Amino acid sequence: MMMVGPTLLRYFSLRFAKWIVGLFLLVTLLIFMADFLEVVRRTADKEAFTLWRALAMSAFRVPSLVEQAIPFATLFGAIAAFVGLSRRLELVISRAAGISVWQFTAPALITVLVIGLFSVAVFNPISAMLKERSDEIGILLFGNEQRVVLQTTGAVWLRQSGTDGESVLHAEYALKQGTHLVGVTVYTFNDKGHYLQRIDAKDAFLGEGRWDMKDATVHRLGADPVSYKSYILSTYLDPAQVRQSLTKPDTISVWELPAFIRLAQNAGLPAYQYRLQYQMLLARPLLLVAMVLVAATVSLGFTRSGGVGRLILGGIVAGFVLYVVTEFAKGLGGAGIVPPSVAAWTPGMIATLLGFTVLLYREDG
């Protein structure tokens, strides 16, 4: 059996890389344009609006949005690359020269492994950092309108207690993993659960056993509102508890997740979702390998005589099924029903084994 030389290996790798990266950039551009137009539509009449601010906010937020599209860009990019090689008869010539399906598929697998490692080690931290920066720009530029500008997960609610008694804290938005709250309203109660006062503040920063509230207004029963430049509210919450309650796992960099998980476990808090996110990131290269194998199973039978519709439909169905299985496993792992490592690695492993099985049956069976 003929071995693939370095020139052919490099050629195949570049073909797959061009299609996968090109399709990913196309998806990124489309998402950026849609997000930018939506920001402009909703904020064009605001006093603080400028074109450059809207561009910056969309550009910083898009990496976190398109990160979820990497597996699908890999799947359809690999399908396009296989189809292109088939149309140009390059796969036919390779087979005639004694190159097996495993040898001309190996460059694709190596390419997506590199892409997967890069997306986890470099792209994920950058997207998390830029997402936080985008949120901060939205808060600073648009103030109380940030919920219109930013696609957030909704308002924040916390029930807490401190030396001042119990209170319910509401915030429009949370920054810096929940230690900076914006648009804060606090309802305080005495030991018997009777309402005492309401505190409205522009910002609240979590300190050691207290919330430092800025530009606060206190509304007490039977008294006129009193404004304070700075107001302190005691709390028994620590940063680990606040981060665990308010921080979404996908906003934390892969390099910060291990320390975050240890912090939550040391505080006696469950860390299923954060452990799952960490394992999902580690398993991403395997998932991309599975996507290439799935692409090979649905596209290597393609000929110049037709079958494009069946090919596209097969790729869509395969990608949809794998997506559903992955989301189902994430739900089980995030709830602690199954170990996060099992939930994260199982879809990719099953898809990889199925892809190898189908190729073995078709090519060597």
Phi-psi region of 154 (alpha: psi -120 to 50; beta: other; left: phi over 0): left
Q: What percent of the chain has pLDDT over 90?
A: 20
Alpha-carbon distance of 171 to 181, in angstroms, equals 6
Q: Model confidence at 74, in pLDDT bands (50, 70, 90)?
A: very high
Q: Is the per-residue pLDDT at 104 higher than 90? A: no
Least confident stretch, 77-86, 146-155, 170-179, 292-301: 146-155
Whole-number Å distance between alpha carbons of 14 and 338: 39
Question: d(Cα 283, Cα 277) in Å, to the nearest integer?
Answer: 10
Considering only CA atoms, which of 174, 108, 115 is closest in space to residue 139? Answer: 174
Confidence category of residue 156, pLDDT binned at 50, 70, 90: confident
Residue holding tokens 């606040």? 242
Looking at this protein, which amino acid is placed at residue 275? R
Provide the mean pLDDT of the chain: 81
pLDDT for position 267: 57
Whether pLDDT at 13 is above 80: yes
The H-assigned helical ranges of the chain are 6-43, 51-66, 70-87, 90-96, 101-118, 124-142, 146-149, 239-246, 257-266, 272-282, 284-299, 308-334, 340-359
**According to the model, what pLDDT value does residue 152 have?**
44
How far apart are the C-alpha atoms of 204 and 158, rounded to whole Å? 13
Task: Using the structure block, give the residue that is written with the tokens 């692409």.
Answer: 295
CA dist 94 and 111 (Å) reads: 19
Stated pTM of the model: 0.77
**Among positive and negative, which fits the CA dihedral 231, 235, 239, 244?**
negative
Q: What is the mean pLDDT of residues 78-102?
A: 76
Which residues pair with residue 217 across a beta bridge? 200, 227
Of the given ranges (21-35, 137-151, 204-218, 246-260), which has the lowest mean pLDDT? Answer: 137-151
pLDDT score, position 5: 64
Residues 6+ apart with CB under 8 A from 191: 165
Burial class for 217, CB neighbours closer than 10 Å (0-12, 13-18, 19+): middle
CB contact set of 71 (below 8 Å; sequence gap of 6+): 284, 287, 288, 291, 319, 322, 323
Q: What is the 3-state secondary structure (H, E, C) of 227-254?
A: EEEEEEEECCCCHHHHHHHHCCHHHCCC
Would you state the pLDDT for residue 306?
54
Q: Helix axis angle, 308-334 relative to 272-282, nearest 10°?
A: 140
| pLDDT tens string 267-301 | 566 678 888 889 999 999 999 999 998 888 877 76
pLDDT at 326: 86
Structure tokens at 154: 């909704």
Among the ranges 51-55, 207-211, 345-349, which has the highest mean pLDDT value?
345-349
Helices 308-334 and 284-299, packing angle to 10 deg: 150
Per-residue pLDDT at 119: 93
